[in-house]
Amino acid sequence: MSARQLDRPGTALLRRLREPAPPQPERCAFCGRSVPDPHRHLVDTEEQALTCVCTACGLLFQQPAAAGGRYRGVPDRYLTDPDHRIGEQAWAALGIPVGTAFLFRNARQQRYVLLYPGPAGATESEPDEGAWQAALGASRLAAALEPDVEALLLRHTADGVHCHLVPIDVCYELVGRLRRCWKGFDGGAEARTELDAFFARLAERARPLREDGTR
């Protein structure tokens, strides 16, 4: 076989297969239309998974009885409670090995789930009830939290523990960002820079919870 024959279509196909595939556009899980970035998400409460939706399909699932309540739309609120502080002892009792974690209530299982980012993605644990109550039981953010679709996002820094109520898809976005740049046990310098930028944007967007429990 000559060198010229090696450059024919079969070889070209192998060459293309070795090249990274171009990113595919996200599509609505229900109608198949491509969706822009950013776009809306639903939580599949049976699978505990996020589902991409277009605006029209997202509106259909705003009705509480839609699909038997299986899918719930992710809200778009970002809240803080300036009057509530998590102390160092309460944070230590939660047993989180890294400086960032998020907590949400699984409605089907009737329990709280704690997750924290790492090199393999999100690691799940079931928080100790006493530790959870000590850290966040008195927080109005915890009382306002919508099951399955919102989370309390925590970050421990040198100046204390910061807590925000956020859409749950934002937490998984953060996990994905950190996974791409995580180095070593604690994430490394690049992960810390990513965290600083992420929480700076979050601080700009978050609004204080009012005395009546609304934003």
Q: Spell out the per-residue pLDDT of the chain, length 215, in tens.
A: 333 444 444 444 444 444 555 556 788 988 998 888 888 899 988 888 888 999 888 888 877 666 777 888 899 999 999 888 899 998 998 888 889 999 999 988 888 999 988 888 888 888 888 888 888 888 899 999 999 999 999 999 988 899 999 999 999 999 988 888 888 777 888 888 999 999 999 999 999 987 545 55
Is the same domain home to 50 and 98?
A: no
Is the same domain home to 103 and 186?
A: yes
- Give domain status of residue 214, yes or no: no
Is the same domain home to 87 and 67?
A: no
Is the same domain home to 49 and 85?
A: no
Final residue belonging to a domain, choices 41, 73, 105: 73
Is the same domain home to 89 and 37?
A: no
- Give domain status of residue 213, yes or no: no
Final residue belonging to a domain, choices 73, 98, 121: 73
Q: Which residues constitute the domain of residue 92?
A: 79-208
- Give domain status of residue 215, yes or no: no
Is the same domain home to 137 and 93?
A: yes
pTM score: 0.82
Quickly tell me which residue has 């100790």 as its tokens.
128
Is the same domain home to 123 and 36?
A: no
Quickly tell me which residue has 């000559």 as its tokens.
2
106 bridge partner residues: 111
Is the same domain home to 40 and 145?
A: no
Is the same domain home to 110 and 188?
A: yes
